Structure 1
Amino acid sequence: MSDDPAHVREFFGVRAAGWDSRFPDDGPAYAAAVADLGLRPGDAVLDAGCGTGRALPPLRAAVGPTGTVLGVDLTPEMLAQVVKEGRDQDGTPVLADVARLPLRDGALDAVFGAGLVSHLADPARDLAELARVVRPGGRLALFHPIGRAALAARHGRRITDDDLRAEPRLRPLLAGSGWELTAYTDEDHRFLALAVRRTD
């Protein structure tokens, strides 16, 4: 399911204040996923759909004090939580839609997106926009702290083949948007798809 921006803002806006308390044990999973992104000191990285900014501290640790960490979200209430939790010390919160990023072409070395794909209004277009702002050879991590089957079960649903995160759907979606899928993990305790920005 993809969502229009107004629906996403409404959904997350009313949930922002209590969001972190719903998932108190996700920190190590975020840190592990950031480690797999392969960032280097001095890199510029975007947390796309950053929510309350749970990925910002491990992203900052990875790129160090000389790196750039941006957290983009279209929900003001989520960005307010970034500040409230002090995570704006690790990354700069930016109110924007990932469909129209206020960044120049090739400005970034990497993008991290937690729980992002299912909330994109137009996944092909939006993933292409992420590719636009990443240099050729740069990296993308699409992450969720639990896998597709576990997430579906949490919501009382069964896993389906039309899920955008299913590898047979995600690989061509990324390929058509300027990315090459290089690693895919879908386990109960982790979903992580890694891709590289194509040079062609």
Structure 2
Amino acid sequence: MSDDHTHVQEFFTARAADWDSRFPDDGPAYAAAVADLGLRPGDRVLDAGCGTGRALTPLRAAVGPTGVVVGADLTPAMLRAAVQAGRDRDGLLALADVSALPVRSSSLDAVFAAGLIAHLPRPADNLRELARVVRPGGALALFHPIGRAALAARQGRQITPDDLRAEPNLRAMLAGSGWRMTSYVDRDDRFLALAVKEA
């Protein structure tokens, strides 16, 4: 495992047990972001970097009983917290790295990724891997329950022009990774970038 991966694992392992209790009011924001992904009954969707699985329940509701929901995360402690919360009933949990997903190419309809982009060691390559597993015309949602400015304030830092999640930077990175950004929202109460996989 690379040093980047070890750092991410250590960060989330230390926070897994109380993650949900630290952010108890995020449920509606997750549900709204999933709704904007435009899933249909029977769709196959990946929650990339699923953490404690807070998106799995709205994803399952969106794709229904005939759909497939997979939650992948690099940190075993996060997946254990998802099981303890009962969210494994809504999707299959997999210990997996988004840089090399154990998923067939073009086999999914969509990817949902909450808070993932800031933790990717090689964002362009990792977004390309997410594109690999989605069919042409499939969708990607990059979500965070608070916007960039609010998150920076919470973390005691400033937003800089080279921030990966700034619209021009993210749009260019997505375009270079097989995606076309279709919408971008960055408000204090929501960050959501939606993209479609190019044919």
Report Cα offsets for 1:1-59 as digits up to 9, x if no partner. Answer: xx811110000011100000000000000000000000000000000000000000000
Query: By how many angstroms is 1:158 displaced?
Result: 1.3
The question of 1:7 aligning with 2:1 is answered no
| Alignment-mate amino acid for residue 126 of structure 2 | D
What count of residue pairs does the alignment treat as equivalent? 197
Q: CA separation in 2, counterparts of 1:63 and 1:5?
A: 31
Report Cα offsets for 1:114-141 as digits up to 9, x if no partner. Answer: 0010100100000000000000000000
The question of 1:106 aligning with 2:110 is answered no
SS of the residue 2:99 aligns to: coil
Aligned to 1:168: 168
Q: CA separation in 1, counterparts of 2:196 and 2:25?
A: 29
Aligned to 1:139: 139
TM-score (structure 2 length as normaliser)? 0.98
| Alignment-mate amino acid for residue 105 of structure 1 | S
Report Cα offsets for 1:50-83 as digits up to 9, x if no partner. Answer: 0000000000000000000000000000000111
The question of 1:194 aligning with 2:194 is answered yes
Q: CA separation in 2, counterparts of 1:82 and 1:157?
A: 30
| Alignment-mate amino acid for residue 166 of structure 2 | A
What pairs up with 1:73-88 in 2 under 5 angstroms? 73-88=73-88
Q: CA separation in 1, counterparts of 2:23 and 2:8?
A: 19
Fraction of identical pairs, as percent: 74
| Alignment-mate amino acid for residue 183 of structure 2 | A
- Please list every run of 5 or more consecutive structure 2 residues that lacks an aligned counterpart in the other structure: none
Aligned to 2:40: 40
Query: By how many angstroms is 1:162 displaced?
Result: 1.0
| Alignment-mate amino acid for residue 179 of structure 1 | W
Q: CA separation in 1, counterparts of 2:187 and 2:85?
A: 30
| Alignment-mate amino acid for residue 130 of structure 1 | L
Query: By how many angstroms is 1:159 displaced?
Result: 1.4
SS of the residue 1:7 aligns to: helix
Aligned to 2:63: 63
Query: By how many angstroms is 1:86 displaced?
Result: 0.3
Query: By how many angstroms is 1:160 displaced?
Result: 1.3
Aligned to 1:72: 72
The root-mean-square deviation of aligned C-alpha atoms, in Å, is 0.7
TM-score (structure 1 length as normaliser)? 0.98
What pairs up with 1:110-125 in 2 under 5 angstroms? 110-125=110-125
Q: CA separation in 1, counterparts of 2:185 and 2:114?
A: 14
Q: CA separation in 1, counterparts of 2:156 and 2:123?
A: 24
Aligned to 2:183: 183
| Alignment-mate amino acid for residue 116 of structure 1 | L
- Please list every run of 5 or more consecutive structure 1 residues that lacks an aligned counterpart in the other structure: none
